[in-house]
Every structure is written in C-alpha cells, then in structure tokens.
A and B are shown apart, each in its own frame.
Chain A
Amino acid sequence: MHDLIIIGAGPAGITASVYAARKRINTLVITGNIGGQAAWSGDIENYTGYQFITGPDLAAKFADHMRQYNIALIENEAVITIKKSGDVITVTTDKGSYDCRSLIIASGKRTRDLNVPGEKEYKNKGLTYCATCDGPLFSGKDVAVIGGGNSALDAALQLVNIANKVYIVNNVSSLGGDAIMREKLEANPKVAILNNSQVKAVLGDKFVKSIKVLTPEGEKELPVQGVFVEIGLIPNSEFAADIDKNKTGEIKVDSRNETSVPGIFAAGDVTDVPEKQIIIAAGEGSKAALNVFRYLSQHKF
C-alpha cells in the first residue's frame, strides 16, 4: 500500500513527485512515458529561468530532477480504472493493480484525431502528430499543418526552417495563438494560410501525396508530402469514471486540487484549471502534492 500514487509523469506529475518525496510521502508514479507533452514541444521561451530551452531538454531536466529522489516509478503502463472503496484507492492498469491512500491524477492530454478518410492509413506515412519528431524528415518538401492554435503555429514555425512550402489549414476565420508567432508566419513567404477551411481526406499511394480541403472558394487538392495534425487535445480522463468532469472531459478540481472524490487530487492539463502551460502544470503539481500531505496528516487510516 502506497500513501500516494501519481498517475502521469509530465510537468505536473514529476513536480508532484518531487514535492511528495521531499515530504517523505511513500509514493509510486505510474505513467505511459516521461515528460508528457512537454517532451514533444518545440522551443520553449516562457518557462521562467530559461530564456530558451527545447521541450526534450526541459523534459530531460524534469526527469533528472525526479531521479535525484528515490521515487518508485512504473513506465509503459496505461491506467484502465480507478476505484475508491473505504479508505483504499485501487488503480488498475493494463498490467497490474496498485493500492494507495491518496491519488494525484496528472495524466495530461493527448492529440485529437482528424477523423477523415486516409488519416489512419497514412499515419507515419506522411501524416504525423509530432512536428518535433518527424519534421526533419520533410526537408525540402511541401507540407500542411492542420490547426490554428499555438501548437499548430509552433509546428509551422519549426517546419518553415525545414520544408519548401508550409500550408496552414485552419477551420475558423483567423489564426489563434500568440501574436508573436502569428506575425512571424504571416510574414514568411513560404507560408500559405487557408482560413475557414476543413480537411476532407488524406490521399496518396504508399505515402501521402495530397490532401483534399474544403475552402470558402470550393474544394482544393493541396499537393503535400507531409501532414502535421495539430487540432487540439483531449484529456486523458476516461479511466476516472466516478469523478466529476466538465463537458470537455477535464477533471474538476477545487483550489486545493481536490476532485469530487476525497483523497483523489488532480493537476495539470487533465484538469479544468484554465490555461495550459508547462509552468502552470508544474505549479499545480506542487500544490496537489502539498495538499495530499495535508490530507494524509489529517486522516487516520
């Protein structure tokens, strides 16, 4: 029996584990991977203390920080259900089952699929969800970024340095995201922005050759070899069936990071806390761990 299990090892989960270790809470971290979405980010210029750091480098620093403490860690496991009965919370994964007295859900978000014909067939055959990983393979090629938020702009900014031409296919009337990123893209002659446009299909033979896009001027076929899907994220909260969520599936937390179930806390992008930022996730993780410490010391088990 652990005093605390943390689900997830992104910025929120890792920070929670460090705070828990420093409070000598007997902690187990269960996660699919280490670093979470931070490890997939491109250039980070707004994490205080670093004027510039890449996502993989910052994630590696987080992981090193966690390894300074003797924290039990299980990787490559996916949580299927969590259940509280009496004072015991049971976390069941695809490989085993673990009991604890308190829980922090820091399972983050994952990329949303396009749900168009060709998406599954051409995954990793020109279509990718990770510009940071696969971008360099599209050197000198024509590519399309699907989406208009910060992650799409980030992907497009990485790709303008690599690709020959970058289309941005955005389904609303103008790009969102930070003005500084938007302005850089709008000024770049390699970039073509298609607003009010939806991807209808991904086409090709063995690899992607084009995408079909519905634009206000009618249907167009864009000849591209790469498709980067950046249309937002959905919370990894399906396993938390008995916990209150908002309509987008984010776990509701109070100002102490506690969920609707006492003893179960949540932190980071999986929660309904507004603004998804690495620095916010990290801060929320520390807050959750401190409130777990309070919860454990106030309860007799």
Chain B
Amino acid sequence: MARVTVYSTPTCPWCIRVKQFLAENNISFENYDVGSDQAKAEEMIRKSGQMGVPVIDIDGTIIVGFDKEKIKTALGLKNA
C-alpha cells in the first residue's frame, strides 16, 4: 500500500476533489492543513518547490494540483 500524504487548505476546491478522489478509490492518506500547520507548510514548499495547494506525496512522488492521471499512475490504479 502506497504511503500517501495530502497537503491542503480547507477552502480550496481542488483539495476537496483530491481527497474525494482518494476516498472513492479506497486509498488511505494523511491530510495536513498547511493553512494552520506552519511546519507542514514548510515541508510542502520544500518538497514541491512551490506554494500552490494541493500537493500530493505518493511514496516520494510529488504531484502538484489535482492531476488525476498522474495520481492514478503513481498509485498504480487502472483507468476507470
């Protein structure tokens, strides 16, 4: 099972979509609110080299934004 971390803010629509997508595919993940967790915000910026949310870390593969195809590939999900 891949280790999945989502860096998000509570208000961002794409963050909500990423979390919905992972839940629909029964992928468990850890979610960090980078709006309130400064340390995690810095971790996200260090990992992705940018400040836009959401950022998804799938076993070290960093994906910026809700890029469904990249997320599927990184998780080894078949195309629906």
Contact = CB atoms under 8 A, between A and B. Distances in A.
A133 B35 CA distance: 10
Interface residues of A, number: 25
Contacts of A263: none
Contacts of A42: 11
Nearest to A124: B52
A192 B15 CA distance: 31
Nearest to B10: A136
A134 B51 contact: yes
B79 interface: no
B51 A125 contact: yes
Contacts of B35: 135-137, 139, 162
B13 A135 contact: no
A135 B41 CA distance: 12
A24 B80 CA distance: 27
B25 interface: no
B9 A135 contact: yes
Given A76-B68, A136-B36, A124 B51 contact: yes
Interface string B8-34: 011111111000000000000000011
Interface in A138-180: 139, 162
Given A124-B52, A124-B64, A133-B52, A139 B38 contact: yes
A265 B29 CA distance: 43
Nearest to A41: B13
Nearest to B67: A76
Interface string A114-132: 0000000000111010101
A280 B15 CA distance: 27
A133 B51 contact: no
B51 A137 contact: yes
A154 to B, nearest CB: 12
A134 B53 contact: yes
Contact of B50 (A76, A124, A139): A124
Contacts of A295: none
A39 interface: yes
Given A134-B52, A137-B53, A55 B36 contact: no
B38 A133 contact: no
Interface in B27-80: 33-36, 38, 41, 45, 49-53, 64, 68
B16 to A, nearest CB: 6
B32 to A, nearest CB: 12
Contacts of A40: 13
A264 interface: no
Interface string A68-110: 0000000010000000000000000000000000000000000
A132 B51 contact: no
Contacts of A128: 51-52
Contacts of A39: 13
A263 B68 CA distance: 34
B9 A136 contact: yes
26 contacts: A39-B13, A40-B13, A42-B11, A54-B11, A56-B11, A56-B16, A124-B52, A125-B50, A125-B51, A126-B51, A133-B11, A133-B12, A133-B14, A133-B15, A134-B9, A134-B12, A134-B53, A136-B9, A136-B10, A136-B34, A136-B35, A137-B9, A137-B35, A137-B51, A206-B49, A207-B51
Pairs of residues from A and B, 8 with the lowest C-beta to C-beta distance, nearest first: A136-B35, A133-B12, A124-B52, A39-B13, A124-B50, A136-B9, A56-B13, A132-B11
